Amino acid sequence: MSRLNPAIARGAVRGIEANKVLKNTYILLSATLLFSALTAGLSMALNWPHPGMIITLVGYFGLLFLTTRLRDSAWGLLAVFALTGFMGLTLGPIISYYVTAIPNGDQLVMTAMGGTGVIFLGLSGYALTSRKDFSFLGGILMAGILVAFLAGIGAAVFSIPALSLAVSAMFILLMSGMILWQTSEIVHGGETNYIMATVTLYVSIYNLFLSLLQILGIFGGDE
């Protein structure tokens, strides 16, 4: 029996570390979502135009690279707030458009927010309570996101509403999978950096909200 004690001890330590990462992730995620909402509200109040696809992509990938490089230092916290704040600034003009240009646009926005919250809490809760290992989803999700990303660019460049709708549906499924995967990675010790875990969950929530909003907008008279 004594030979089992080191293994039991290591398992207990891993469990404590996983719980710490999970706690820090949810605290930081809540703070970044709030900060992102504030910057989105600021851009709406000042009526800032959307920066466009190129600036958005350059800003996102640039700040993501910076956050990744600084993830093991205190500067990583500043970088993740810069990233989420920037994404909030790009989100504000999109919300303004739906609120002002779409019939019942404010209700569509609230419905998309509510749907995003329900999906995130439901999937996170399932991953936490079931403790299933969803690590097998990693490669599938990466490939799917790349395909959906390229298809989304094509839909935007060539203005193809049907493709845009399909991409939004794909992103809803992919981001739901990302929430399951990332939560599982934290629980099982596959992700030990709460800054990077926060970024993954934030991006999943951001894209999930946008995809739901686009689909609701299409069926609500956007297209």
Q: Who's near 108: CB < 8 A, 6+ residues apart?
A: 98, 102, 213, 216, 217, 220
pLDDT at 136 (0 to 100): 92
Helix/strand/coil for 184 = helix
Q: What is the pLDDT along the chain (223 residues), one digit of tens a residue?
A: 445 455 454 455 566 788 899 999 999 999 999 999 999 999 999 999 999 989 999 999 999 999 999 999 999 999 999 999 999 999 999 999 999 888 888 899 999 999 999 999 999 999 999 999 999 999 999 999 999 999 988 888 888 888 889 999 999 999 999 999 999 999 998 889 999 999 999 999 999 999 999 999 888 654 4
Q: Which residues of 39-73 are buried (b: 16+ CB within 10 A; e: fewer)?
A: bbeebbeeeeebbeeeebeebbeebbebbeebbee
Give the tens place of pLDDT for each residue, 94-142: 999 999 888 888 899 999 999 999 999 999 999 999 999 999 999 999 9
pLDDT at 14 (0 to 100): 62
Question: pTM to 2 decimals?
Answer: 0.90
pLDDT at 167 (0 to 100): 92
Q: Is 151 exposed, middle or buried (0-12, 13-18, 19+ CB in 10 A)?
A: middle
* Count of alpha carbons within 13 angstroms of residue 3, beta-carbon side: 0
Q: Tokens in use for 59?
A: 């800003």
Distance between CA atoms of 208 and 223, rounded to whole angstroms?
Answer: 20
